Amino acid sequence: MSAPRPYTLIAELTYRCPLACPYCSNPLDLRARAHETTELTTDEWCRAFEDAAALGVMQLHLTGGEPLARKDLEALVAKARALDLYVNLITSGIPLSRERLVALAKAGLDAIQLSVQDVDAARSDVVAGTVCFDEKMRVAAMARELELPLTLNVVLHRANIDRVAEIVALGERLGAHRVELANVQYLGWALANRDALLPSEDQIARARAAAAEEKARLLGKIEVLFVLADHYAAYPRACMDGWARRFVHVIPDGTVLPCHAAMSIPGLAFESVRARSLVDIWRDSPGLDAFRGDAWMPDPCRSCSRKEVDFGGCRCQAFALTGDASATDPACSLSPRHAIIEAARAVATDDARERRYLYRGRESRTPPAR
Amino acid sequence: MTGETRPRLAKKARLKIDPIEKKSVLLSPERGLVLSASAAEILARCDGERTVERISAELADGTQAALEDVRRDVVAFLEEMARRGFVELGG
């Protein structure tokens, strides 16, 4: 199969992170291996960036874990800019000194996306599993002072989704040019925590209306982006714009994936840039080819007029919820297994239910008050 | 916007030639906008120094197009780009 052109490289530089959000996109089974031996070296990342640029990639997302945990982040930014990539740092902002942000800006960082968990320290810090809100506010102020374009990213769930207008107002105060309101996608840690995180249908409807209002109010000033939870959509989201199609994802040890979660699907052979070049892996690799095109699709997907719109939804979700990675995404209302999603929504209407967050390497806790 | 407005490309936006397709693109966080040749010509001049009047004159120069037609297209395009946050319309 001829490989499509990728436009974006998502470089997960490390799984190390001082935060422990209950919807973390990192794998559930992180073994405590020494990062010095597992993570790619500076040179290995630089080679991956070169190969990505050769494939046609124009956007680079430096993410993790917390990318600031990499001491060579400045060197990686400089390399990426030398390749004329648009370099976006996706960060919790912890820990980030003014000197380091100045150095990153000088190295050519194009934009910074800062995550905040809620609009106040008390609630935000419970979700993050660590005290960090006030520090994030300082980081946002530094970004503004250095004129680094700032996206404020807030992951939405049942404990904070009632505050969409307040979140956007926080973005305004911080001088963000973009506010991303991204509903949790229920994979990995988020799926383990789904009962504690999934909002009710009423909450979603109110949040959607509030986001539309804010978007209209701030048109031309701040871009307000609302990413719907596919548990409340009629059709699945176009996960990654299609499997191994426009996004190429490299995890800390160099394994090349179509998305951050694809290792959760057993039986797929993914390769590392340590063994073969990113160019070769992208063009021809069994794991990446597995769900390209539509030959893998069962019905109702294969004959569906939307298959070029949503590309059959999310393979990781199909596997996590049905045990079959080729199944129709249960988030789709046309899926024969859609009852799985309806059952999760029913749980979300039960306010009396006891809920707890499970964290990476922390004791579980009760969610903050809505 | 008037003829004396000095538009500037937003800090988040960066012009680049796509090395594969050889077309101008405007990059911003998580976006890549493929530009027509004239759109790229206009944006390349949005440096906060040139006025709308001068940008229009530079584009009309050496073409058969009437300056007022070019100016009208430039203004409409810049308004749209400003609405999308890619261009700042300073004084």
pLDDT mean over A267-285: 97
Minimum-distance CB partner of A59 among B10, B32, B84: B32
Q: Closest CB to A178: pick one of B18, B27, B29.
A: B29
Residue B62 to chain A, least CA–CA distance (Å):
32
What average pLDDT does range A217-221 have in this prediction? 92
Residue of B nearest to A53 (CA): B19
Structure confidence at residue A362 as a pLDDT band (50, 70, 90): confident
Q: Which of B18, B20, B29 sits opposite A149 (nearest CB)?
A: B29
- pLDDT band of residue A207 (cuts 50, 70, 90) is very high
Beta bridge partners of A157: none
Buried b (16+ CB within 10 A) or exposed e, A115-138: bbbbbebebbbbbbbbebbebbbe
CA A70 vs. chain centroid, Å, equals: 19
Least confident of A253-257, A350-354, B24-28: A350-354
Quick one: A144 exposed, middle or buried, by C-beta within 10 A (0-12, 13-18, 19+)?
Answer: middle
What region, left, alpha or beta, does residue A52 occupy, with left being phi > 0 and alpha being psi -120 to 50 degrees? alpha
Whether B12 and A111 lie within 8 Å, measured CB to CB: yes
Q: Which residue of A has its CA nearest to B13?
A: A110
Q: Choose the closest CB to B27 out of A58, A61, A177.
A: A58
What would the pLDDT profile of A227-274 be if each residue is shown by its tens digit? Answer: 988 899 999 999 999 999 999 999 999 999 999 999 999 999 999 999
Instruction: Evaluate whether residue B1 is within a structural domain.
Output: no
Give SS3 for A284: coil
Chain A contact set for B81 (CB, 8 A):
none
Out of A113, A148, A177, closest to residue B85 by CB: A177
pLDDT at A28: 86
Total of domains in chain B: 1
- State yes or no: pLDDT of B48 exceeds 90: yes
Tell me which chain B residue has its CA closest to the CA of residue A144: B11
Is A113 in Cβ contact with B27 (below 8 Å)?
Answer: no
Mean pLDDT in chain A?
95
A&B contacts, CB < 8 Å: 55
Q: CA A183, CA A153: separation in Å to the nearest integer?
A: 10
Instruction: Identify whether the C-beta of residue A30 lies closer than 8 Å to the C-beta of residue A38.
Output: no
Of B18, B82, B85, the CB nearest to A223: B85
Q: Which residues of B touch A113 (CB under 8 A)?
A: 29
Task: Give pLDDT tens digits for A106-133.
Answer: 999 999 999 999 999 999 999 999 999 9
Mean pLDDT lowest among A84-88, A174-178, B56-60, B82-86? B82-86
- Cα–Cα distance between B60 and A185 in angstroms, integer? 50
Specify whether the CB–CB gap between A232 and A204 falls below 8 A: yes
Distance from CA of B65 to the nearest CA of A (A): 30
Reported confidence tier of residue A33, pLDDT bands at 50, 70, 90: low
In this prediction, residue A361 carries a pLDDT of 82
- Checking if the pLDDT of B72 tops 90, the result is yes
Does residue B90 fall inside a structural domain?
A: no
What is the structure's pLDDT at A1?
A: 56
Q: Mark yes or no for CB contact B29/A151 under 8 Å.
A: yes
The C-alpha atoms of residue B20 and residue B90 are separated, in whole angstroms, by: 34
pLDDT digits (tens, 9 = 90+) for A292-306: 999 999 999 999 999
A311 neighbors A242 (Cβ within 8 angstroms): yes
Q: Report if residue B47 sits inside a domain.
A: yes
Mutate to test the interface with B, among A55, A86, A177, A224 (most CBs of B within 10 A): A86
Handedness of CA A152, B86, A226, A165 (dihedral sign): positive
Note the pLDDT tens digit of each residue in A40-69: 999 999 999 999 999 999 999 999 999 999
More confident residue, B91 or A157: A157
Residue B89 lies in a domain: no
- pLDDT tens-place string over residues A176-194: 999 999 999 999 999 999 9
Nearest CB to A149 within list B11, B20, B32: B11
Q: Is B32–A177 a contact, with Cβ atoms under 8 angstroms apart? A: no
Residue A312's pLDDT is 93
Task: Quickly state the pLDDT bin for A35 (edges 50, 70, 90).
Answer: confident
Of all residues in chain A, the percent with pLDDT exceeding 70 is: 99
Q: Determine the structural domain holding residue B62 and report its residue range.
A: 8-84
Express as a percent the part of chain A with pLDDT over 90. Answer: 93
Q: Is the peptide bond before A65 cis (omega within 30 degrees of 0)?
A: yes
pLDDT tops 90 at residue A220: no
Q: What average pLDDT does the segment B25-49 reach?
A: 96
User: Does residue B63 sit within a domain?
Assistant: yes
pLDDT band, residue A211 (cuts 50/70/90): very high
pLDDT at B91 over 70: no
In a domain, B3, yes or no: no
Partners of B82 on chain A (C-beta within 8 Å) are 220
Which residues of chain B neighbour A151 with C-beta distances below 8 Å?
29
**Chain B positions with Cβ closer than 8 Å to A:** 10-12, 14, 16, 18-20, 25, 27-30, 32, 82-85
Q: Which residue of B has its CA nearest to A8?
A: B30
Distance from CA of B51 to the nearest CA of A (A): 20
CATH of the domain at B72: 1.10.10.1150
B83/A220 touch (CB, cutoff 8 Å), yes or no:
yes
Residues of A with CB under 8 A from a CB of B: 5, 7-8, 53, 56, 58-59, 61, 84, 86, 88, 110-111, 113, 147-149, 151, 177-178, 219-223
| A201-205 CB contacts, 8 Å cutoff, 24+ apart | A201/A232, A201/A345, A201/A348, A201/A349, A203/A158, A203/A161, A203/A162, A204/A161, A204/A228, A204/A229, A204/A232
- What are the tokens at A248? 């190429």
Q: Output the six-digit token pair for A289.
A: 């080819």
A58 vs B contacts (CB less than 8 Å) = 16, 18, 25, 27, 32
